[in-house]
């Protein structure tokens, strides 16, 4: 506890690659949850032991594939009710995971745990520059309250410039559902 | 008929074999025709031509080996296999355990299991859901009167599809392992098992027709447009308790919500939900339930009480040790790691939970499982993981049940 500031956690953790289970990386982190202004995201500082996997080749393959599509990409329910999705949607899902990570960070408190539950729909937005842009509507699962929260995210991505969430907003839920 | 595999070592030998192909009176059937020395030549030879062909090959120094000694034997075996599998398919094996099923399909399979293993499996109706769907329990028993029994339930939260899917696989496993697996056999010779595969059928149906993420029951809430109660906040154990969160000094109480629109709404009163009341009544009426095991997803956790308070249960040491042994069994199959601990410190503070009620009621061996995964797919666990998950979960359950069998109280 830090008086008048908040609460700091020192963490030692292991990062596991969800694509390649054997790929694990040790990590240490410091998280500060602010006392006042619960709208502020927690401060995060971290150090990774070693390097993260180089995904340049897969990134470029995905990038070129999307760039060469005749029509802008659009899809729904990734994965579907049975946990299935066409293999070509996997990078779209991973991109959503990365973008959702940012949204989750921005909305985390000591009493929340968010996971990306599903992509309800995603559509690619046309761009004149080199970036790929996707408008996602996802469902976040918040563990403590057990709520499923619809969330909109606009995501920019480029193989050399990484992921950026340019816009995101919590969406209203429907009463009976 | 014999099948020979011939290895030509050069083009000349290939040509000789191609010559052999033209000799129709030999009635040779080439499965792999002579084309290049790099590739084998397989040929079926009727008995009457066998000697002649072998002499031809040997005198030309062409290497060969016998691939199939007697083709008829192979064909006879295949015919037998096919007859058996046709017979099996007419029974439980038409049900694909590696995919998610509708409620109707699961209910049909429960009937099949009870029919096909009628000597040890029977189907009971312990009550009805809010929308009047039957709550079916499979009873596994080799006789006796009111033997000490193990209770297992799945699908109390309807969106946790891996639990209903695992439960039905486990049902088939118990039924087919009796008599062959020493552990299951000794278990059922002493105790009964009751399995409720779909605790919340209304919710389950809703996840198929309207909203895959539905968790609660489908009961109407007075004075609210919102439907449903969280059935795992509705048990009589610290019902409705809210928690003071030390860090922020604000009563935000995640224990259970009093808001009907919330996914953790505890309901108007304990046991208000038909689904919960049916289980409570069954357990009370039975009077000899010695273990209460419930399946949830996701997070890969194996938990014992309490959730409604953060103090350790009296049997903490034993429960923790049994839990760790079960987690170890789970891990042994596919390396899946389960964390073990009490609900309060492992997952979150939650009031009105089923294993808190069962433990306080006197059922010492009360455990809650949170199955795969840890968040990557969450509730939408790919169907390809159903059987591996069921297999490893079964090992965990078995470890607990074996301990119960050997430590009856």
Q: Are residues A90 and A132 in the same domain?
A: yes
> Which one of A80, A83, A148 has the shortest CB-CB distance to B213?
A148
Examine the domain organization and report whether A46 and A125 are in the same domain.
Answer: no
Does A82 lie in the same domain as A38? no
Asked if residue A49 and residue A68 are part of one domain, the reply reads no
State whether A82 and B210 contact (CB < 8 Å). no
What is the token pair recorded at A9?
């956690």
pLDDT for position B252:
37
Residue B246 pLDDT: 40
**CB of B205 closer than 8 Å to CB of B328:** no
What is the bridge-based pairing of β-strands A74-78 and A114-125?
antiparallel
Q: Which structure tokens are listed for B385?
A: 């993981």
CA B316-B317-B319 angle, 5° bins: 65
Q: What is the ipTM of this complex?
A: 0.92
Residue B238 phi, psi (nearest 5)? 60, 35
- A150 and A63 inside one domain: yes
How would CATH label the architecture of B95-209+269-406?
A: 3-Layer(aba) Sandwich (3.40)
- Gap between the Cα atoms of B310 and B202, Å rounded: 32
For testing the chain B interface, which of A4, A5, A15, A83 should be mutated: the one with the most B CBs within 10 Å? A83
Q: A108 and A33, same structural domain?
A: no
Q: What is the CATH number of the domain that holds A25?
A: 3.10.450.10
Same domain, residue pair A142 and A129: yes
d(CA B67, CA B43): 9
User: What does pTM read for this prediction?
Assistant: 0.82
Q: Is B268 on the interface with A (CB under 8 A)?
A: no
Strand partners, A16: A24
Q: Does B262 touch chain A (CB under 8 A)?
A: yes
Which residue stretches of chain B have pLDDT < 50? Answer: 88-90, 92, 245-253
Q: How far is CA A171 from the centre of its chain?
A: 17
Using a 10 angstrom Cβ sphere, with 0-12 exposed, 13-18 middle and 19 or more buried, the burial of residue B158 is buried
Contact B376 A82 (CB under 8 A): no
- Taking an 8 Å cut-off on Cβ atoms, the answer to whether B383 and A176 are in contact is no
- Residue numbers of B annotated as active site: 370
Same domain, A12 and A80: no
Say whether residue B279 is in contact with chain A using an 8 A CB cutoff.
Answer: no
Same domain, A85 and A170: yes
* Residue of B215, B264, B380 with shortest CB distance to A81: B380
> Does the beta-carbon distance from B379 to A141 stay under 8 Å?
yes
Residue whose C-alpha is closest to residue B299's, from B366, B395, B371:
B371
Q: Tell me: cis bond preceding B298? Omega within 30 of 0 counts.
A: yes
Q: What is the pLDDT of residues A73-86, one digit of tens each?
A: 999 999 999 999 99
Q: Do the chains contact at B378 and A141, CB–CB below 8 Å?
A: yes
B7: left (phi over 0), alpha (psi -120 to 50) or beta: beta
For A108-154, the pLDDT digits (tens) are: 998 899 999 999 999 999 999 999 999 999 999 999 999 999 999 99
User: What is the residue range of A139's domain?
Assistant: 54-176
Interchain contact B97–A (C-beta under 8 A): no
DSSP string, B98-155: TS---HHHHHHHHHHHHHHTTTTEEEEEEEE-TT--EEEEEEE--S-SS--EEEEEE-
Q: Among 3.20.20.140, 1.10.1040.50, 3.30.70.340, 1.25.60.10, name the CATH number for the domain at B2-69.
A: 3.30.70.340
Q: Based on the domain organization, do A66 and A34 belong to the same domain?
A: no
Residues A139, A72 within the same domain? yes
Residues A126 and A72 in one domain: yes
Provide, as residue numbers in chain B, all residues whose Cβ is less than 8 Å from the Cβ of A110.
247-248
Model confidence at A21, in pLDDT bands (50, 70, 90)? confident
pLDDT at B102: 97
Q: Which residue carries 């976040």 as its tokens? A: A140
All structural domains of chain B with their residue ranges: 2-69, 95-209+269-406
pLDDT at B89: 46
Whether A176 and B264 lie within 8 Å, measured CB to CB: no
Distances (CA, A) of A93 to A19, A80, A88, A118, B36: 12, 12, 10, 9, 48
> Given this model, what pLDDT does residue B253 score?
46
Query: What's the structural domain count of chain A?
Result: 2
Distance CA B235, CA B227 (A): 18
According to the model, what pLDDT value does residue B228 have? 98
What are the angstrom distances between the C-alpha of B361 and each of B282, B284, B323, B365? 13, 9, 20, 11
């Amino acid at each position: 506890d830090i008086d008048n500031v908040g609460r700091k956690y020192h963490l030692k953790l292991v990062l596991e690659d969800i694509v390649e289970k054997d790929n694990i990386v040790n990590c240490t982190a410091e998280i500060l949850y602010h006392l006042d202004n619960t709208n502020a995201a927690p401060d995060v500082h971290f150090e990774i032991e070693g390097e993260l996997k180089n995904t340049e080749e897969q990134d470029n393959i995905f990038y070129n594939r999307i760039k060469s599509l005749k029509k802008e990409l659009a899809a729904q329910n990734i994965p579907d009710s049975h946990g299935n999705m066409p293999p070509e949607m996997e990078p779209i899902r991973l991109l959503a995971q990365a973008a959702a990570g940012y949204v989750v960070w921005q909305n985390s408190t000591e009493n929340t745990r968010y996971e990306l539950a599903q992509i309800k729909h995603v559509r690619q937005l046309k761009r004149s520059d080199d970036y790929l842009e996707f408008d996602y509507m996802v469902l976040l699962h918040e563990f403590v309250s057990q709520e499923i929260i619809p969330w909109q995210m606009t995501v920019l991505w480029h193989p050399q410039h990484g992921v950026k969430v340019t816009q995101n907003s919590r969406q209203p839920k429907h009463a009976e559902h | 008929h014999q099948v020979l595999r011939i290895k030509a070592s050069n083009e000349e030998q290939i040509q000789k074999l191609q010559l052999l192909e033209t000799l129709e009176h030999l009635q040779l059937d080439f499965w792999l025709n002579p084309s290049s020395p790099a590739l084998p030549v397989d040929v079926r030879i009727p008995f009457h031509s066998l000697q002649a062909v072998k002499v031809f090959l040997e005198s030309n120094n062409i290497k060969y080996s016998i691939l199939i000694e007697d083709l008829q034997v192979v064909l006879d075996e295949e015919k037998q296999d096919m007859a058996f599998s046709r017979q099996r398919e007419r029974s439980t094996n038409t049900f694909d355990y590696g995919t998610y099923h509708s409620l109707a399909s699961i209910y049909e399979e429960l009937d099949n299991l009870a029919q096909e293993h009628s000597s040890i499996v029977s189907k009971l109706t312990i009550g009805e859901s809010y929308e009047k769907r039957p709550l079916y329990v499979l009873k596994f028993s080799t006789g006796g009167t009111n033997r000490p029994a193990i209770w297992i339930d799945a699908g109390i939260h309807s969106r946790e599809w891996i639990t209903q899917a695992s439960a039905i696989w486990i049902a088939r496993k118990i039924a087919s392992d009796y008599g062959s697996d020493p552990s299951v056999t000794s278990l059922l010779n002493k105790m009964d098992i009751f399995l409720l595969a779909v605790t919340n059928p209304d919710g389950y149906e809703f996840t198929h027709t309207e909203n895959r993420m539905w968790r609660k029951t489908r009961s109407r809430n007075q004075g609210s447009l919102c439907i449903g109660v969280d059935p795992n906040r509705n048990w009589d154990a610290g019902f409705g308790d809210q928690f003071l969160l030390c860090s922020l000094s604000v009563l935000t109480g995640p224990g259970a919500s009093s808001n009907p629109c919330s996914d953790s709404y505890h309901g108007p009163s304990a046991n208000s939900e038909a689904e919960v009341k049916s289980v409570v009544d069954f357990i009370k009426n039975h009077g000899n339930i010695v273990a209460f095991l419930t399946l949830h997803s996701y997070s890969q956790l194996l938990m014992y009480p309490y959730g409604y308070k953060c103090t350790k249960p009296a049997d903490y040491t034993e429960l923790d040790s049994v839990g760790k042994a079960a987690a170890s069994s789970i891990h042994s199959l596919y390396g899946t790691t389960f964390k073990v601990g009490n609900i309060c410190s492992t997952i979150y503070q939650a009031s009105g939970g089923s294993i808190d009620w069962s433990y306080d009621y006197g059922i010492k061996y009360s455990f809650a499982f949170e199955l795969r995964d840890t968040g990557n797919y969450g509730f939408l666990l790919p169907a390809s993981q159903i059987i591996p998950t069921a297999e490893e979960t079964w090992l965990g359950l078995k470890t607990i049940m074996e301990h119960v069998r050997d430590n009856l109280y």
